[in-house]
Structure 1
Amino acid sequence: MASTEDKEASKEKASSWKDSIYNPRTGELLGRTASSWALILLFYLVFYCFLAGMFALTMWVMLLTLDDYVPRYRDRIPNPGLVIRPNSLDISFNKSDPLKYADYVKNLETFLQKYNETQQQVNDKCVPGDYTVQDDAEGMLKKVCPFKRSLLSFCSGISDTNFGYHEGKPCVLLKMNRIIGLMPHGDPYVNCTVKKDNPVQMHYFPKEGRFDKMYFPYYGKKAHENYVQPLVAVKLLLTKEDYNKELAVECKVEGSNLRNNDERDKFLGRVTFRIKVVE
């Protein structure tokens, strides 16, 4: 049986443990009196209010340096990438089955909606072959040069709503990524090649596959609110001997100072895609 001394020691330990949480004799809670808790809570309240104030002041000063229309810092590369539509780098379909190429046709038609006549006729006329520089223009909004889908001729989806897919001569659309202030020197145009022994004929729209300089420079999403990138359509005139084969097509932007041969970035000024047409 436990002795009296052991029982008293056990009671003292239990009492000591309870007193560490709340001591009724001194009024301490977790080792601090009410005034001590009040002082430390006041300190942290002032400390965190000071930090919040410093953060708000820093953000306010930073926002004062920003421009809603022109980014203060531009860390994007000065050369644009080349993008293809329909949005696929592996185009494969059966020309005899509309369901097999329906997604490609729908993707092209949806993409070209903003190039419709009704959308573009509200834009301003520009001088072909010249940059549309508007640095000294009144107001922050810049005029937009129109690019109508009719410029894409047989690849516009107007006269041929299937964009040539039903006849095994598909169209692809190419555009450059937007870069604020880009003014390519020279006369940029698209040139596509097929990696095979026998060349494949191609038609380019607009004429010679050129990106007219009047669509440059781009002033940013807010200043150039209705801006649309110029397009180049490539119609691949495939023949029967090209069917049922996977062809690798490489398109590059040439005729200017824009880079198209950087091995570290396969999409800088160029794009490579595969196409296969099944009879």
Structure 2
Amino acid sequence: MSSSPQTQEPNPEPNQEPNQEPNQEPNQEPNQEPNPEQTEEKDAAKEEVKEEVKEDKTEEKTEEKTEEKTEKKEGKKEEKKEEKKESCRDFIYNPRTGEFLGRTASSWGLILLFYFVFYGFLAGMFSLTMWVMLQTLDENVPRHQDRVSSPGLVVRPHAVEISYNRTDPTNYNQYIQQLHELLQYYNDSIQEQNDLCLVGEYTEQDAEPIKKVCQFKRSTLRQCSGLPDTSFGYEEGKPCIIIKMNRVIGLKPEGDPYINCTAKRDTPLQMQYFPPDGRLDKMFFPYYGKKAHPDYVQPLVAVKLLLRKEDYNIEQTVECKVEGSNLRNSDDRDKYLGRVTFRVRVSE
């Protein structure tokens, strides 16, 4: 009997599966498809990582740019400071060009010469115009005096309201002192050195360089002269008020000017005038100015208020005006033009 040889395959190793691929995970099926959720998570994670990397890079770039900008600014500031220092030094004195304060010596000389000639010309023109103007003026008479055509009146004692207690001399001593100071220039011994002028006529002296002065003696005021009664009537409660007219150069009042006073009350107030009738004589006019008429004294009028006991402790308002001439005394815009108002109150 013939028998065919049989080829016997070797036995496989135990627990070894045929056709198993190397590096293949166990329990993994060879043709298994990946889970889509897992792939999406991986992609999202990758994108997040990329964005973080980009942000880090942009932050680094911005920081680098800001640092560069700050460095540039600091460098520019330092350069500017150095340039300013150098420019200031060069402005004061530039050794390269020899300039002082931006100009050379020849430039300074030319500009100083120009200003010297220019301002010298202006000074000469000003001096010439002043000299020409002064030739047209009179040192004694103002060129324009239209606004003082009529004089104002003033009173002494220099107070709008005269109030005192007649039993206390300390209350009225200040008023007495003011009157004595005013009348010391009218003392008879001084006035006797002046000229006797014609009563009722102007004393015109246009041609004479030094003008004469007419006498106005203190004794003319009699009871208000302070000679027989040194208290000027203040001690007995019958005070004296002296009125004078302001000086106006060249004034010649027409008519026969005099001072008239009235009390603003229902019953008239008794008054006494010195000189009589409160007259301002024409012989004291005109006045020629302080330089040509240095010793001139204007005429005075004294008013003695004859107060009674029933007038004490009552304020008396008195208004005095210059009347009898062309002088203005009723201008509402100027209450002192040709008139004056004062108040007197005497108490016991």
TM-score by length of 1: 0.92
3-state SS in 1 of match to 2:305: strand
Q: Is the 8 A contact 1:261 1:268 kept in 2?
A: yes
Residue 172 (structure 1) aligned to one of 241, 247, 250: 241
Residue 112 (structure 2) aligned to one of 41, 60, 84: 41
Equivalent in the alignment of 1:109: 180
Q: Which range moves more in the overlay, 73-82 or 204-213? A: 73-82
Distance 1:19 1:130, change over 3 A: same
Equivalent in the alignment of 1:70: 141
Matched, 1:145 2:214: yes
Equivalent in the alignment of 1:90: 161
- The amino acid that maps onto 2:185 is K
Partners of 1:134 and 1:22 lie apart in 2 by: 72
Partners of 2:84 and 2:177 lie apart in 1 by: 80
- The amino acid that maps onto 2:252 is M
Residues 191-244 of structure 1: CA deviation (Å, up to 9, x unaligned): 111111121100001011110111111111122121100011000000111111
Q: Is the 8 A contact 1:82 1:174 kept in 2?
A: yes
Distance 1:241 1:12, change over 3 A: closer
Q: Which range moves more in the overlay, 32-41 or 55-64? A: 55-64
Residue 295 (structure 2) aligned to one of 223, 226, 239: 226
Equivalent in the alignment of 1:244: 313
Task: Point out which structure has higher relative CO (alpha carbons under 8 A, 6+ apart).
Answer: 1
Distance 1:226 1:12, change over 3 A: closer
Distance 1:104 1:13, change over 3 A: closer
Distance 1:148 1:12, change over 3 A: closer
Residue 279 (structure 2) aligned to one of 185, 210, 230: 210
3-state SS in 1 of match to 2:331: coil
Matched, 1:189 2:258: yes
- Extract unaligned runs of 5+ from structure 1: none
3-state SS in 1 of match to 2:131: helix
Offset of residue 129 of structure 1: 1.1
Distance 1:37 1:161, change over 3 A: same
Offset of residue 65 of structure 1: 2.7
Matched, 1:162 2:231: yes
- The amino acid that maps onto 1:34 is A
The structure with the greater share of residues assigned to helix is: 2
Offset of residue 14 of structure 1: 4.5
Partners of 1:85 and 1:146 lie apart in 2 by: 21
Partners of 1:277 and 1:235 lie apart in 2 by: 13
Partners of 2:204 and 2:331 lie apart in 1 by: 29
Equivalent in the alignment of 2:328: 259
CA RMSD of the aligned region, Å?
2.0
Offset of residue 59 of structure 1: 2.3
Indicate the structure (1 or 2) with the bigger Cα radius of gyration.
2
Offset of residue 253 of structure 1: 0.7
Q: Which range moves more in the overlay, 46-55 or 141-150? A: 46-55
Extract structure 1 runs of 4+ deviating beyond 4 A.
6-14
- The amino acid that maps onto 2:327 is L
Residue 100 (structure 2) aligned to one of 23, 29, 38: 29
- The amino acid that maps onto 2:332 is E
3-state SS in 1 of match to 2:90: helix
- The amino acid that maps onto 2:137 is L
Q: Which range moves more in the overlay, 65-74 or 255-264? A: 65-74
Residues 107-163 of structure 1: CA deviation (Å, up to 9, x unaligned): 001100010011100111111111112224xx3111111000111110011111100
The structure with the greater share of residues assigned to strand is: 1
3-state SS in 2 of match to 1:187: coil
Partners of 2:91 and 2:140 lie apart in 1 by: 62
Give aligned pairs, total: 275
Distance 1:158 1:12, change over 3 A: closer
Distance 1:27 1:194, change over 3 A: same
3-state SS in 1 of match to 2:185: helix
Equivalent in the alignment of 1:277: 346
3-state SS in 2 of match to 1:174: strand
- Extract unaligned runs of 5+ from structure 2: 1-67
